[in-house]
Amino acid sequence: MISHKPTTDFTHPIIRSYSRRKILKLAGAGALAYTGSLATACSSRSSSSTKDVPIKIGVLLPYSGIYATLGDSISAGLEMYLDQSGYRAGGRNVQIVAEDTEMKPDIAQQKARKLIEQDKVDLVAGIVSTGVLYGLREYFHNNKKLLICANAGGNKISRDMKSPYIWRSSFSNWQPNWPLGLWAYHNVGNKVFMSAPDYGAGHNMVDAFAHSFQSAGGTILGKQFTPFPSMGDPAPFITEIRKSNPSMVFCFYSGSAAVAFVKAYDEFGLSKDIPLVCSGFAVEEDVLPAQGSAALGAISGLHWALLLENETNRRFIAAYKDRTNVDANVFAVQGYDTGRIISHLLDEVQGDTRATSRMLELLHDVSFSSPRGPFKLDSKSQNPSQHIYVREVKEIGGKLHNVVIEDLGEFTDPGDNSLG
């Protein structure tokens, strides 16, 4: 591990007020990790539209716990986008002030308050888990602060908990799973057992898959919701799955929980008999190296794949690998697109971060070519309309990757609970 000294350069583009053990490989050339003193030193500076004062983007992500690699990847993608524009937008320098939310809504609320009230950030990006997003909704809404959610897919944020101040650059939890349920009924089998962590996102993902699968004529043999964040001993859960004798298993897990589940599924001998069909996060590029051959053959639905054929993706995955030495993953894509959306807003308001109403209007018309394919923000759900791809884990050149086997077309969250 390389160690970094705190710097007194207040114009440095990235301020982290937590220590990171393993950031450096992912962080790339422009990103230095340092600790509290700098953030504290900067906190007395207030936000402003003055051209020579940097715009501050607050970042709230988990840099510890089971979703730490997600937080690291989102940061790396966001930093890569901003670095490619020289950390400039709207004619001003741009600075990131990042905080670790862990997986805890109460910690995230404290950190949000610190970023907004003490560091005076101009807007905020990040948020990985649904529980944290729901816990922050009132604060951002009441304080009229713009939040671009770069992961957490809690459906309610596109439905009954919508706020004009909260938009997503990522997905709703419904989005990859409803199309996958329909596809799986027609292509894999008609009886499913379902497994997911017992929190908002797990329930959303299971409900979406179950809705289309059942509507097509499929049978749900059973559902299990495992302890979150850590499921503990997987044996009783795997035993329950085997007993149900399904034609497939649907699961959603992510981060280190995905590694644990997929490995246990293989070690207990299920992978050779029962196809694993999952929400793409469960076998995404961040976890595949640790899952190894246990993930081979897993089918999943997601809004991106490493080997997706389009020019923006080709350039993105090459630049990311060059910068970080690891393959990109969907979380890095979401971070990168978040950087693009924020830069666009700041350019349009010429760096005047007080123009919140104008930025909110502009969000309705955002569209561009993302590494994931065509991307546009949908006004009703305040969430992207995007293609969903069916992928299969295959060995390519001695490494495991998700290969696209079908493009299911563009999907938009319904904005209500009519489809699960």
- The footprint of ligand PHB (CB under 6 A) covers 128-130, 151-154, 173, 201, 254, 281
The answer to whether 411 and 389 are in contact (CB under 8 A) is no
Residues 47, 153: Cα–Cα separation, whole Å: 29
> To which H or E segment does residue 193 belong?
strand 191-197
What is the residue type of 406? E
Look up residue 345 and give its amino acid.
Answer: L
What is the secondary structure of 194-206 as a DSSP string? EEEESSHHHHHHH
Least spacing, CB of residue 284 vs ligand PHB, in Å: 7
Residue 215, SS3 per DSSP: helix
User: The dihedral of CA 350, 151, 60, 262: what is its sign?
Assistant: negative
Could you tell me the smallest distance in angstroms from the CB atom of residue 233 to ligand PHB? Answer: 22
Q: Between residues 173 and 338, which has the closer beta carbon with respect to ligand PHB?
A: 173
Residues 6 or more apart from 357 whose CB is under 8 A from it? none
Smallest gap from residue 394 Cβ to ligand PHB (A):
21
Question: At closest approach, how far in Å is the CB of 55 from ligand PHB?
Answer: 27
**Minimum distance of ligand PHB from residue 273's CB (angstroms):** 27
92/387 with CB nearer ligand PHB: 387
Contacts of 180 (CB under 8 A, 6+ apart): 209, 212, 277, 279, 300, 301, 388, 390, 408
Alpha helices in 160-287 (DSSP H): 174-187, 200-215, 235-244, 255-267
Distance separating alpha carbons of residues 258 and 382, to the nearest angstrom: 28
Q: Output 100 or 119, the one with its CB closest to ligand PHB.
A: 100
d(CA 391, CA 263): 19
132 vs 249 by CB, closer to ligand PHB: 132
Measured in whole angstroms, how far is the alpha carbon of residue 411 from the centre of its chain? Answer: 17
Query: Which residues contact residue 191 at a Cβ distance below 8 angstroms, ignoring those fewer than 6 apart?
Result: 218, 219, 221, 246, 247, 248
Nearest distance from C-beta of residue 259 to ligand PHB, angstroms: 13
Least distance from ligand PHB to the Cβ atom of residue 28, Å: 22
Compute the least distance from the CB of residue 172 to ligand PHB, in Å. 9
Nearest CB to ligand PHB, comparing residues 151 and 370: 151
Residue 53 beta carbon to ligand PHB: minimum distance, rounded to whole angstroms: 34
Give the helix ranges, DSSP H, for 364-417. none
Category of 145 on φ-ψ map: left (φ > 0), alpha (ψ -120 to 50) or beta: beta
For 183, the 3-state DSSP assignment is helix
**Residue 250 Cβ vs ligand PHB, minimum distance, rounded to whole Å:** 15
- Nearest CA among 35, 10, 54 for reference residue 346: 54
Rounded Cα–Cα distance for residues 171 and 149 (Å) = 9
